[in-house]
Amino acid sequence: MYPDFARCVAAGPAPARGRRVGGIDFGYRNPFAAVWGVLADDVLWLTNEHYCRNKPLSYHAELLPRKVAWYGRSVRANERSELRCAGFEVRKGDNALRSGIAAVSARIEDGTLRVVEGCCRNLLAEAELYRYSDEEDDRLAETPKDDHNHALAALRYLVSKIDAGRNGGSSHPTKRGRGREVAGREGGGTAAPRSAGVSVEQRGAVDDDFHYEALLG
C-alpha cells in the first residue's frame, strides 16, 4: 500500500517549534494506536507512538501528551469525549479510506512526511505489511485488507484533517520535483535507506515518552 514509506525515516531532531499534532485509532482487543509529532513549515515530523492492546482508555491517557491537537476516529465520539474530560484536545477525524490513503501517499511522494529515526516502530512495521485484499470483489474496489492498519489509521486520520481543503480536496498537494530536496532541508533531516524501517527501537527526539508494543518479535 505504501511501498516507499521507509524513505520517510529521517535523522532528527525534529524542529523545536511548530504545531504539535497527533492521530488516534481507538481499540481494545485491536491495538489502541497513537502517533504524534510536529507540523513545521508544511513538513509533518512524527516523533512518537503509543501502541497497546487490552488496556482501558484511562491507561492510555496517562501515557499520551496533552499539549497536542489530536484527531481520532469519528465513530468513537464517547472515547473522544472521555479524553477531552481528561484535558486532551481531541477533534473528529476523517474516516474516508481512499482519500486518506491518497493524502498520506502524497506526503510520502513529496517528502513532507518524516519519521524521526528510531521512532514509531509499529507504524513502520505496519507500513511494510499493509496491502490490498486478494478477494475478487475487494480487488476490483481497490480495498485494503483490514489488518496491520492501526497506527496507519491514526496517521491517516491526522493527515486527512491537517491537509483538508488543499487543492479543492482532502489530499495533500504533490510538490513536483521536491521529494529529495524537501527531505534534506529544514531540521537537517535526510531520507534514510529502506532498511531503516522496523529495526530501530530507540526513543524519540522530543520530551514526550516513547511507547510501543513490538509487532515483530
Residue bearing cell 525534529 = 14
> How big is the CA angle at 119 (ends 115 and 123), to the nearest 5 degrees?
70
CATH of domain 6-196: 3.30.420.280
- With a threshold of 0.85, does the pTM exceed it? no
Whether the Cβ atoms of residue 48 and residue 35 lie closer than 8 Å to each other:
yes
Which residue from 25, 21, 69 is spatially nearest to 47, judged by alpha carbons?
21
In the chain, domain spans? 6-196
Cell 524501517 belongs to which residue?
197
Alpha-carbon distances, residue 208 vs 49, 52, 78, 119, 204 (angstroms)? 10, 17, 25, 12, 8
Q: What is the pLDDT along the chain (217 residues), one digit of tens a residue?
A: 677 889 999 998 999 999 999 999 999 999 999 999 999 999 999 999 999 999 999 999 999 999 999 998 755 678 888 999 999 999 888 778 788 888 988 999 999 999 999 999 999 999 888 456 565 554 555 665 554 578 999 999 999 999 986 544 444 444 433 433 333 334 444 333 333 333 222 333 333 333 433 343 3
In the block, cell 529495526 appears at 199
Within 10 angstroms of residue 97's Cβ, the number of other Cβ atoms is 16
Omega within 30 of 0 (cis) for the link into 13: yes
The angle at the Cα of 103, spanning 98 to 96, to the nearest 5 degrees, equals 35
